[in-house]
Chain A
Amino acid sequence: MRRMMAAFVALMLLASPAAYAVQPDEIMSDPVKEGRARELSRELRCMVCQNQSIDDSDAPLARDLRLLVRERIAAGDSNSQVLDFLVARYGEFVLLKPRFERQTLLLWLLAPVLLIGGGLALWLQIRRRARSGADVPAPPLTPDEKARLAALMSDDAKS
């Protein structure tokens, strides 16, 4: 139900005129806290956009999320507390960097497994083949190819 409400609100916001990515009036007075807010913003998804972070997006929803992040930071939340708060509210959809857990295991482990597994397999195969003896001789030329080769060679000789 909450998710549906969020979607509804998002749609309402989408209809209002375009605003702007990080606006002057949003910026926090403390540069350290503002820096943290920007850092977090880059990891949070603007849910009505295509893979844009709320830091980049000019959608009104992104602005609300940016303000929310700053509100939590001002209230003294740590970075992970802010993220937890947003996940509790909007689900994991809001995180541009998915958490390492059961559902995302395959996603995160894909690169290292492929790289190490593929690398090992290739190394073993190349070594085995290199040791297994002499070069396989290339297949002999067909008469067609021989004629073509002769023609090409005489061409080269002329030019």
Chain B
Amino acid sequence: MIAESGHYALVLALGLALIQSIVPLIGARLRDAALMNVARSTALAQLLFVGASFVALVMLHVNSDFSVANVYENSHSMKPLIYKITGVWGNHEGSMLLWVSILALFGGLVAAFGNNLPLSLRAHVLAVQAWIASAFYLFILVTSNPFLRIANPPIEGRDLNPVLQDVGLAVHPPMLYLGYVGFSISFSFAIAALMEGRIDAAWARWVRPWTLVAWIFLTLGIAMGSYWAYYELGWGGWWFWDPVENASLMPWLAGTALLHSALVMEKRNALKVWTILLSILTFSLSLLGTFLVRSGVITSVHAFATDPTRGVFILLILCLFIGGSLSLFAGRATSLKQGGLFAPISREGALVLNNLLLTVACAVVLFGTLYPLAMEMLADFKMSVGAPFYNLTFAPLFALLLLAVPFGPMLAWKRGDLLGVTQRLLAAGVASLVAVAIAWGWASGGATLAPLAIGLGVFVIAGAVTDLVERTGLVRLPFATVLHRARGLPRSAWGTTFAHAGLGVALIGIVCETTWNSEYIATMKQNEVAHIAGYDVKLDGLFQRQGPNYREMIAEFNVSRDGETLSVMTPSKRSFTTRGSSTTEAALLTRGASQLYISLGDATAEGSIAVRIYHKPLVLLIWWGPVLMAFGGVLSLSDRRLRVGAPKPARAKQRLQPAE
């Protein structure tokens, strides 16, 4: 019954979405408030039904109802409860259901909190949302129904892929989807603006918080995925430039550009056309990401060709939305008036540079991801594009971007004084040179690029702090005044500082980890000691243990430094009987921002075991950086002027909307 109810709820949601796709638009054409307001009710009802459908699938997984194919293929009765729940989105059908659930959630949020949007704008936005929703409901119902039953239900399920049975994976996809799908809102706003032929600074003010929310989640989602790969896959790598990762990086790059260009539009009423285009591109890249990951085209072009139903369906959705929105853009964009002039050297100019670099970086990733596919299909030339390519192309672009980051927020709007800003950044420059010198001395020659990159990271952090120091008047003014000023600063200024500093922090982490990572690879016997980066790691022994749905072999290591025991580390290797596969569970010892990392290989008959021990200096900064960035985003979101949905006094609200 549960499966059928879930299925039926999804069909009803499709019906609602179809109504929402058309009726509000007719209402907008006829200027009929009642018809336009239909969008609000249908969006909320859609959320209810998709939510019910999602809950139904969760219940099926929790109850281990193996008569449902999706549960049978991805679950096991012995699986811990949390992985029964997270297993819902650890597979294709379930993750698509999560995708539409989040889409409905955002639609519902616009419906519920968009009271202060002009009625026709809200109607248009929700209608566009409904187009996207209808396409994906159809996709799920036609090609990826998670509620399909099996005629002869098996007794036991086939279990979830063991590497996916992890807390990191419980959180990673929902976060990522909140980001991907969140960009649908700015897309819908852009299409609505094009359809209405009307766009102004207020539009940017409405769009920015939604973009920011999506960006925050995407930032955290990517960071989480990277950390998951780092500890779960067992060789300490955290970014592989794998097409699936690129699929999430591209919307992030475009979304970051969008955040900045929307800022120019909001403050200076300039870059309108470009902001609209970026809104379209960002969500298009999210759709492309969904296509790349879900169609299987990446794993192999041939896998795609043998079962093309899903791929072709998403490809159709992709062409329809990207092609449609770009044609609309091409037709209407010229009618949008440009405003707000500025000199090349100005805050606007700096933000244009930011957009140029981010867009080119995004194009590099896009080409790197699709070029091999295109070459294989068109020219029958098989090639690979991997980390060494991106190190040569993407990295210099980002270095340029980071070099410019401290200048941006300090330049004045309209016409800036580059020389003046350079003088004010002198302290940050000196700090960065000192950092270069220290890194150089400490590494005693060695890598030449690494100390420079660290200097760049320090420059970005110090530059971000300098902006704050200048604005609060720290150093110049008495402390009480500084405190008062700091409190008076808009939260978005604090947000900028944290987000920009986060970039520098992440860069330092990346450089330290890749340059000064030390490793020890050997076969160890009991009581043997490995020496690495000043630590003594002794293998105390090997044990076997039975877990809920796996057996594991645990190695116990005693870690000491200068004869003093610090900790016991227990990496393990788990074998999952149902799938006949195994995972390595690395053991991590955190010291400050650095980590000691141990993972196990195969045991030999004589009782010794292959071991990889890494010392990764300052590795945690790689993820603290994005967390800082996201925190900056949250601060900026809490800024008073961005709280679009902030509750207003009831009387004022009545006065505002006499039409209702």
Contacts and interface: CB of A to CB of B under 8 A. Distances in A.
B390 to A, nearest CB: 9
Contacts of B393: 108, 110-111
Contact of B356 (A20, A103, A118): A118
A42 interface: yes
A43 B386 CA distance: 8
B242 A110 contact: no
Contacts, number: 148
A110 B364 contact: yes
Among B342, B387, B602, residue most surrounded by chain A Cβ atoms (within 10 Å): B387
B368 A21 contact: no
B522 interface: yes
A50 interface: yes
Given A52-B240, A139-B337, A20 B655 contact: no
A126 B382 CA distance: 42
Contacts of B656: 148, 151
B313 interface: no
B397 A111 contact: yes
Interface in B324-347: 337-344
Interface string B207-246: 0000000000000000000000000001101001111100
Contacts of B385: 51, 96, 98, 107
B649 interface: yes
B479 interface: no
A135 B364 contact: no
Interface string A87-101: 000011111111000
Given A126-B352, A138-B269, A96 B387 contact: yes
Interface in B579-603: 581-582, 601-602
Contact of B602 (A19, A93, A126): A19
Contacts of B360: 111, 114-115, 118
A141 to B, nearest CB: 10
B582 A97 contact: no
Interface residues of B, number: 62
A122 B339 contact: no
Interface in B445-485: none
A136 B337 contact: yes
A107 B382 CA distance: 14
Contact size class for A? 35 or more
B312 interface: no
Contact of A56 (B118, B237, B367, B379): B237
B344 A103 contact: no
A27 interface: yes
A53 B390 CA distance: 14
Contacts of A108: 393
Nearest to B344: A126
A32 to B, nearest CB: 15
A51 B342 contact: no
B243 A51 contact: yes
Interface in B638-660: 648-649, 652, 655-656
Given A51-B241, A103-B375, A135 B382 contact: no
A32 B472 CA distance: 54
Nearest to A129: B341
A13 B21 CA distance: 52
B383 interface: yes
B115 interface: no
B388 interface: yes
A20 B610 contact: yes
A30 interface: no
B383 A50 contact: no
A24 interface: yes
B521 A123 contact: no
B381 interface: yes
B113 interface: no
Contacts of B237: 56
Interface in A55-85: 56, 58
A5 interface: no
Interface string A21-60: 1111101000000000000001101000011110010100
Contacts of B655: 151
A47 B308 CA distance: 23
B352 A96 contact: no
Contacts of A2: none
Interface string A117-159: 0110011001101100011101100001000100100010010
Contact of B235 (A21, A92, A95, A98): A21
Nearest to A92: B383
B309 interface: no
A16 interface: no
B384 A98 contact: yes
Given A96-B389, A97-B388, A107-B385, 13 more contacts: A21-B612, A23-B610, A51-B241, A56-B235, A92-B382, A93-B383, A103-B381, A107-B367, A110-B363, A115-B397, A130-B342, A130-B343, A136-B341
23 contacts: A19-B602, A20-B601, A24-B610, A50-B298, A51-B385, A51-B386, A53-B387, A92-B381, A96-B386, A96-B387, A96-B389, A97-B392, A98-B384, A98-B389, A107-B389, A108-B393, A110-B364, A118-B360, A130-B343, A139-B200, A139-B337, A148-B656, A158-B649
Interface of A: 18-25, 27, 42-43, 45, 50-53, 56, 58, 91-98, 103-104, 106-108, 110-111, 114-115, 118-119, 122-123, 126-127, 129-130, 134-136, 138-139, 144, 148, 151, 155, 158
